[in-house]
Amino acid sequence: MCVDLTLTTMLVSALGAIGANATVIILACNVNDAACRDAARAAAQTTSATQALMAAQTQLNIHSHGAFFVTQPALSSTSAPDFVYNDFGGSPPPDTSSFVAVTTIVNINIPAPIIFFGTKFGSGPIVYRKRYVFPIVKEKFYG
């Protein structure tokens, strides 16, 4: 009886830890996805690279959530290839559209690290990246 209870308790604890980790990872993916999409959309509605960068950073600041396990979304870098504002000087080549590309990152701290055959999963932060590309709204879009 005690052996059954011990094994069942260990199994339920392991499943609970896996469930907690999966929940935090899914939350982080959703937060970063929404933040990246909003940052790219805001950057696409501007008329210069400087304004686009400021608009993207402003949108990312709006997505502040103060969570311990998931950091606030941030731009991966403010230069290419992570942040690209390409308006082709106002006259894009034929069959080409002006675009903005934004890459954001979040760091995920796993609440319950799992040790499996000597490998420790979740001992350090997991970095999740997301990239969105939007056409610049102020110019003609070529499909």
Q: Are strands 119-121 and 114-116 parallel, antiparallel or unpaired?
A: antiparallel
What does the radius of gyration of the chain's CA atoms come to, in whole angstroms? 21
pLDDT tens readout for residues 101-116: 999 999 998 888 877 7
| pLDDT confidence tier of residue 128, bands split at 50, 70 and 90 | very high
CA distance 143 to 31: 30
Q: What is the mean pLDDT of the chain?
A: 88
Structure confidence at residue 111 (pLDDT):
87
Q: Where are the domains of the chain?
A: 2-135
**Of 137 and 142, more confident:** 137
Residues forming beta bridges with residue 106, ordered by sequence position: 128
Q: So what's the pLDDT on residue 26?
A: 93
Res 141 pLDDT > 60: no
> pLDDT value at position 57?
96
pLDDT digits (tens, 9 = 90+) for 32-61: 999 999 999 999 999 899 999 999 999 999
Q: What pLDDT does 66 receive? A: 75
